[in-house]
Structure 1
Amino acid sequence: MHNAQPWTFRFLRHSGSLQLRGDPERAMPKTDPAPHRALHLGCGAALFNLRVTAAHACREPVTRLLPDPADPWLLAEVNLAGPVRDDDDLAVLHPAIRRRHTSRFPFTDEEIPESILDGLCGAALLEGARLYVPDAWHVRSVLDLVHDAEGREAMDPEARAETARWTQTDINDGAPRPEGIPAYAFGPRQRDVTAPVRDFAGRQTVPGRGSATFEKWPCLVLLGTADDRPTDWLRAGQALERVLLQATLDGLVTSLTSHALEWPELRWAVRDPGSAMGHVQMVIRLGYGPTGPATPRRPVGDVLDIV
C-alpha cells in the first residue's frame, strides 16, 4: 500500500531459511488499522517474489505461514535448503518481477481475450484465492464505491495526512526517497474520472503534470478469499503477485485500487453476493497501455539481516 514496503527479511545460515517479518513502523493505522489486512497483503506479495526468485535459483521454497503463534509479526518462514522440484512452475515468472510496474496512465479500450482472463483466474487459484470478473453493472457499482471512498478521504484529515506521508508531490523536493509514491509515478490527472486510479496529488499542483482521458469502460477484476484471517491475507497477497506477474508476461499493464476496501462500511458492498467469493482483498485494473515507471525500493541493507 502506497509503496511503504512494510517488511524485513532475516536469513538463518544454520538452517538455510529466510524469515519474513512485518514492519509495524510502516503500518497505516488510519486506512489499514490493526490487524493490518493491507500490510499482510503487501508482505504476501513480497513473499511470492521471494518464492519465484528461489525457484529461479534452483532452490525449492518450502513455505510456512505464521509459523509462531506467539510472534504475530513473523509472517512466514521459507526453507531454501532443497533443490527445486521438476514440476515447479514459479521460475517462469521471474523475468516479470523487474518488468512489472503499476501504471496510472490511460489504458486503451482493447478487449482482453477471455483465454487470458481465464489464465489469470487459474493463477489466483494456485495460491488459494479467487479472481472474479464482474459484469458491466457490477463494475459501475465498484466505481461508485471508489468515488465514495475518495470523498470520504477528502473529508478526513487523518486519512489525508497518512496518504501525504507516503507521497512526494514536489519533483524537486531534495533527494528521492527509497519508499512511497514519487510525483513522476502519479500519472496524468483524469479529465473525466472514469478509471479507479487514486490521485495522489489531491488538490496540489505537480509541476509538469498533464491531464488525459482514461478508458471509459475499465476492465476490473476482484481478488478475494473465502475467509478473512491473517493467513488468508498472506495467501491473497501471494495470489495478487502471481496474477500481476502473469498479466505482465501476457502483455497487460495493471494498477490496483484499495480505496473502497479501506472503509469497512464500503468494503462489504464491493463483492458480488452471487459469487463464491466471501471477502474482496483487492481490485485490479487490467488493460493495454503504457507501462508505469519504476518506483523506489529500500536498500538491501535496510531490509535484510543475515545471522
Structure 2
Amino acid sequence: MTRRTTSSEGLPTRIPPASPLEAAADAAVLAPSVHNTQPWRIRLHPDRLELSADRTRRLTVLDPAGRALTQSLGAALLNARVALAAAGSAVRVDRLPDPADPELVAVLRPVDGLPDAALATLAPAVRRRRTNRRRYGPGRVPDEVLRVLVAAAAAEDTVLVPVIRDDHVHLLARLTQQADRIQNADPAYRAELRRWTNREPGTGDGVPTSAVPHVDGRHHDQLPVRDFDTAGAGQLPADTTSDTTQTLVLLATHTDDPLAWLRCGEALERVLLELTTRGWVAGPLTQAIEVPVTRTQLRSALTWDAHPQSVLRIGHAPATSPTPRRPRGTVVENSPAPAGRPARDRTVAAARPVPDGRGGTTWV
C-alpha cells in the first residue's frame, strides 16, 4: 500500500508509506462514500489510528440521521483493517469508544498476534474497486459467489439477503421507483444533489461527470439508479438503464443504531472488495432505504426483524474512471512523535500513477 498525495495536475501520486498505520490511512481514504463526500478525518499516532466523522460533510436532506455518513466511515474502517492485515499486523479495533466524543468512530491499534488472512487477501482490490453505474450485461452472480458475499457480511455482523424471488425483485423495483419519485419531487433534495455533482475541477470530492450516465429521457428504468446528471453533462452512455435481470442483494442489521450502521459500512466494503477480486462490479441502489415509507415496506416484506441498510446491484460492465480524492493533508493529521524519538525521513520522489484499466477504486 502506498501513500497518496496530489500532483500539480490534480492526479494522485504515490509515496511509500512510512509505517503500517500510514498504509492504513492511505487505504481508508480510498473507501466509497455517499455522493463521494468523504466525511472522515484521520489522526495518526505512533501506536494507533483514530477515525473520526467530519459532519460538515453530511448530506442534511438525504441523510438527516447520519446513517449513510456512518456507513461511509465503516467502509473506511474496513479498508484500514485490510491494509493492516496485508502489512502483517494483527489489530485491535475499538468502535465508538468514547461516548463523550461522538465524532470519534474507531481507534485501531496494531497488536501482537496473527493478522487476519482473509482480510489481507483483499488488499489488491482496495485500489481497483469502483462504483459502476453503467448498464450491466446479462448473467446473474453464481450461487458460490453469493455464498462468499453472505459470509463476508456475516463476518461484520451484517446480514446479506440475495433478492432472488421474482415477486421480491418486482417489489424492490416498485419501491425504488416510488422512493425515486418522492426524492426528486423535493427541491431541497435536488439542490443538495446539484451541490455534489457540479464541483469545480480539483475539489477532490463529489460525483464527477465521468462517473454518471448522460440522461436523455428516452430510457425507462425498472430499477432506477440515482440521476446524478444534474447538469446534463454525464459522460457515460445514455443506455445505462437498470433492469430486473441483474443480481440484487440487500444488507440488513439486527439493530438500527450508529454501531449497526458502522458495521454495515464495514460489511458493504468487504462485499465490494470480494466482488472486485472476482471480476464483478457493483453500485448502490439505496433510494428505497432513504425514504422512510418505502424502507418500512421493504423491511416488512424482505428482512422481517432485521433493519434494511443498503441495496447493491451486481453485474458485469466495462470499467469506469476513479472518482477524485481530497488532498491528503486535509484529511490525515500526523501527531508528533514522542520526545526523544527522531522523525523519520519520508522524502521520496513522487511517481505519476498509470490506471490499470481493470475497473477499480471508488463509490457513492
- Please indicate, yes or no, whether the TM-score normalized by the shorter chain is above 0.5: yes
1:187 is aligned with what amino acid?
A: P
Q: Deviations over 1:201-237 (max 9, x none)?
A: 14x4217664215453221100110110111011000
Give 1:155's aligned residue.
185
**Conservation of the 8 A alpha-carbon contact between 1:224 and 1:236:** yes
C-alpha separation between the residues in 2 aligned to 1:208 and 1:289?
A: 15
**2:89 alignment partner AA:** R
Q: In 2, are the aligned partners of 1:105 and 1:188 still within 8 Å (CA)? A: no
Residue 129 of structure 2 is matched in structure 1 by 100
Say if 2:312 is the partner of 1:284.
yes
How big is each residue's C-alpha offset from its partner over 1:104-158, in whole Å with a ceiling of 9 and x where there is no partner? 1011111221111111111000110010012221111111111112211221111
The one-letter code matched in structure 1 to 2:60 is P
Deviation at 1:257?
Answer: 1.9
Tell me the equivalent position of 2:206. 180
When normalised by structure 1's length, the TM-score is: 0.91
- Asked if 1 retains the 8 angstrom alpha-carbon contact of 2:168 and 2:302, the reply is no
Aligned equivalent of 1:211: 238
Once the two structures are overlaid, the 10-residue window that deviates more, 207-216 or 121-130, is 207-216
Q: Taking every aligned residue pair, what percent have the same amino acid on both sides?
A: 38
The answer to whether structure 1 residue 294 and structure 2 residue 325 are counterparts is: no
Q: SS at 2:118's partner residue?
A: coil
Post-superposition shift, 1:188?
4.3
Q: Which blocks of at least 5 consecutive residues in structure 1 are unaligned?
A: none
DSSP-derived class of the 2:265 partner: helix
Q: Which runs of 5+ in 2 are unaligned?
A: 1-33, 336-364
Distance 2:320 2:42 in 1: 27
Alpha-carbon shift at residue 61 of structure 1 (Å): 2.2
- Paired with 2:80 and 2:305, the residues of 1 have a C-alpha distance of 27
**Amino acid across the alignment from 1:141:** L
Amino acid corresponding to residue 298 of structure 2 in structure 1? V
Q: What SS does the aligned partner of 2:309 have?
A: strand
1:2-151 mapped onto 2 (5 Å cutoff):
2-13=35-46, 16-34=47-65, 36-80=66-110, 82-83=111-112, 85=114, 88-134=117-163, 135-151=165-181
Choose 106-115 or 268-277, whichever is displaced more.
268-277
**2:133 touches 2:240 (CA, 8 Å); kept in 1?**
no
Residue by residue, what CA displacement relative to the aligned partner does 1:14-34 show, whole Å, maximum 9, x if unpaired?
A: xx1111100010001111113
Give how far 1:177 is off: 2.4
The one of 254, 260, 272 aligned to 1:232: 260
1:103·1:187 contact (CA, 8 Å) conserved in 2? Answer: no
Deviates more, 1:233-242 or 1:188-197: 188-197
> 1:289: Cα distance to partner?
1.5
**2:52 and 2:138 mapped to 1: Cα distance?**
40
Which residue of 2 is the match for residue 200 of structure 1?
228
Question: For the residues of structure 2 that align with 1:261 and 1:115, how far apart are their CA atoms?
Answer: 27
Separation (CA, whole Å) in 1 of partners of 2:330 and 2:234: 31
Which range moved further: 191-200 or 71-80?
Answer: 191-200
Which residue identity is paired with 1:199?
D
* Residues 253 and 260 in structure 2, CA contact (< 8 A), matched pair in contact too: yes
- 1:68 and 1:261 map into 2 onto residues whose CA distance is 28
Confirm or deny that 1:166 pairs with 2:192. Answer: no
Structure 2: which amino acid aligns with 1:181? V
Moved more, 55-64 or 233-242: 55-64
How many residue pairs match? The answer is 298
Normalised TM-score (structure 2): 0.78
Check conservation: 2:152, 2:270, Cα contact below 8 A: yes
In 2, the alpha carbon distance for the partners of 1:177 and 1:136 equals 43
CA RMSD of aligned residues (A): 1.9
Residue identity matched to 2:190: R
Separation in structure 1 between the aligned mates of residue 271 and residue 242 of structure 2, nearest angstrom: 22
Rounded Cα–Cα distance in structure 1 between residues aligned with 2:77 and 2:63: 20
Moved more, 276-285 or 48-57: 276-285
Q: Decide which structure has the larger Cα Rg and report it.
A: 2
Aligned residue identity for 2:211 = A
